[in-house]
Structure 1
Amino acid sequence: MVFGKWMMAACMVAAMAAGAQAAPPTSGNPILPGWYADPEAAVFGNRYWIFPTTSQPYDAQTTFDAFSSPDLLHWTKHPDVLNAKAVPWAKRAMWAPAVVQNKGRYYFFFAANDIQKDGELGGIGVAVADRPEGPYQDLLGKPLVGAFHNGAQPIDQFVFHDDDGAWYMIYGGWKHANIVRLKDDFTDVQPLADGTLFKEITPAPEYVEGSLMFKRGGRYYFMWSEGGWGSPDYSVAYAIADAPTGPFTRIGKVLQQDAAIATSAGHHSVIQVPGTDRWYIVYHRRPLGETDRNHRVTAIERMDFDAQGHILPVKITHTGVPGDPLP
């Protein structure tokens, strides 16, 4: 009898151990070491890429690192892929990368100098390289957008490639969002279908910054950040429309702080695994107890949809996501 009970207990322990061993490894959060924010996520070839802001005081925020992974679990750092030394007009406050591939080259859009009014030098720039890891060099010798239009500060740009081949840039701060259509070589903007160059698409009074757009099921999803980036209530909301120019009406928040995990969860990007309907949200947040507004880290979670195509609320975690190798 004693031996039988011992065997039963041993089998239970072995089964529990086997179950524990079978649990898939996860990325953990944060996924990148160091202070990084405003992550741009992309898939180029057989690797995932993250291009974040190096989160430092504005005068020191003049260089970008990149990170790549085959599976969302193991990340390789590519240091100093773009530096202000390669952009003669950029002196400080470089942030919010947006990186796309176009005709075999890679284009790195960024904000620089944090201009406060027209006449100051700065705004949204673009650099180019032959590889995702750079090194990137300034494309234009000046900002692509260097002035205020419709009240939008020229920052926090996102570049969206539509199914018909059109390239759009959505950007803005100070509670105003604009969309522009880019020339195919990214050297300038060109008129939209209605003839305007800078069309305001601010989706709601709560809009602040951090624009992003993607397409799913034939509809356009516009996401953005609300609240102050240095405040605990920083968060992400979204809207859906039938055209990239809207009109957009706010649906609600999908990402926000959790007092047990982290605060200031916002300024995100998304990844769709090619050929699938698997989506991830990559975002920054502030660890509990941190009071320095530049102490931000990059995290990742699954992003799912309901039957109507609405984005389900994202729960922020310390766990992160299981591996998802690219073919």
Structure 2
Amino acid sequence: MKNSGNPIFPGWYADPEARVFNDTYWVYPTYSAPYDEQTFFDAFYSKDLVEWHKVEKVLDRSTVNWARRAVWAPSPIERDGKFYFYFCANDIQSNDELGGIGVAVADQPEGPFHDPLGRPLIDRFHHDAQPIDPHAFIDEDGTAYLYFGGWGHCVVAKLNEDMISLGTFEDGETFKEITPTNYVEGPCMIKKDGKYYFMWSEGGWGGPNYCVAYAISDNPLGPFERLGVVLAKQEDVATGAGHHGFLQIPGTDEYWIVYHRRPLEETDANHRVTCIDRMTFNEDGTIMPVRLTFEGAPERVLK
């Protein structure tokens, strides 16, 4: 049986978001380089999880007039035949700076994506959360949410049906803080069997102890009570495993976590690679700790 191997494609790439679009697996990572060299996004696609192909520069900073420094941590999603791409830029440290979370739009998953607003979608700190690391999620009832936040705080907002503007919750609020214990950054939401699995990264992204923890709730707004770590370093494989997305094999209950890690021989913080490993659920719905492998995923052909 053929396997993808880990990493699943060559090059330094981090913060991967994974989706199935148009009967194709897609992974959208950060180009992992010194900060001011992170000026574009590449994407990768596969029909079988094994053979991956690169699309260069699906979004370039030069086409986003407010993006003056690095771009990173993408989150794409499809709605009504359009593809929306959330990302962060400029790494703002206060509300006095220009930057935050932007959105771009394309007619196909390979882009090219363009900025329809000409400004950030979220350009301020809310509930003390730095506006970074967006993650888009559409619930079964059609409600779209954007989870985001750094500096130890996580916030959720509603997206309007146009996916490029923010709505409000029933109480009139636009932003709700949902920060679980030990949250640092990198939110991710999975809905499975009617439950909301909220996941996030802990620790420092440049160090060996970066990891992923999770909570389960009956509501997309929580509360989210931390249950434990599901992805972490393995001394015989890699360190710094975190900031992930996931793939569910269509029509099955099979889940794969797509994440970045740092090879054991690497000490440069930016030397991160994108990998895939099986994510398994216990009978009670909790998640088993992920085993890091060099094999990756077996062939799973999309028709």
Q: Same fold (TM over 0.5)?
A: yes
Match of 2:163? 186
Deviation track 1:239-274 (CA, whole Å, cap 9, x = no partner) reads 000110001100000000011100000000011112
Deviation track 1:6-30 (CA, whole Å, cap 9, x = no partner) reads xxxxxxxxxxxxxxxxxx1111100
Q: Which amino acid aligns with 2:99?
A: G
Residues 62 and 94 of structure 1 are in contact (CA less than 8 Å); yes or no, is this contact kept in structure 2?
yes
Structure-1-length-normalised TM-score: 0.92
**2:265 is the counterpart of 1:282:** no
Task: Provide the rounded CA distance (Å) in 2 between the counterparts of 1:65 and 1:33.
Answer: 12
Match of 1:93? 70
Task: Provide the rounded CA distance (Å) in 2 between the counterparts of 1:139 and 1:100.
Answer: 16
Match of 1:139? 116
Q: Gaps (5+ residues) in structure 2?
A: none
1:59 aligns to what SS in structure 2? helix
How does 1:135-214 map onto structure 2 within 5 Å?
Answer: 135-204=112-181, 206-214=182-190
Match of 1:215? 191
**2:299 is the counterpart of 1:299:** no
Match of 1:110? 87
Give 1:224 shift. Answer: 0.2
Match of 2:9? 32
Query: Given the alignment, which residue of 27, 42, 46 partners 1:50?
Result: 27
Deviation track 1:213-244 (CA, whole Å, cap 9, x = no partner) reads 11001010100000000000000000000110
Structure-2-length-normalised TM-score: 0.99
Task: Provide the rounded CA distance (Å) in 2 between the counterparts of 1:186 and 1:201.
Answer: 21
Tell which deviates more after alignment, 185-194 or 225-234: 185-194
Residues 62 and 91 of structure 1 are in contact (CA less than 8 Å); yes or no, is this contact kept in structure 2?
no
Q: Which amino acid aligns with 1:189?
A: L
Q: CA RMSD in A?
A: 0.7
Give 1:291 shift. Answer: 1.1
Q: Which amino acid aligns with 1:170?
A: Y
Structure exhibiting the larger radius of gyration computed from Cα positions: 1
Q: Gaps (5+ residues) in structure 1?
A: 1-23
Task: Provide the rounded CA distance (Å) in 1 between the counterparts of 2:289 and 2:116.
Answer: 39
Deviation track 1:111-158 (CA, whole Å, cap 9, x = no partner) reads 000000002000000001111011111121000000000010000010
Give 1:187 shift. Answer: 2.5
Where does structure 1 differ by over 4 angstroms across 4 or more consecutive aligned residues? none
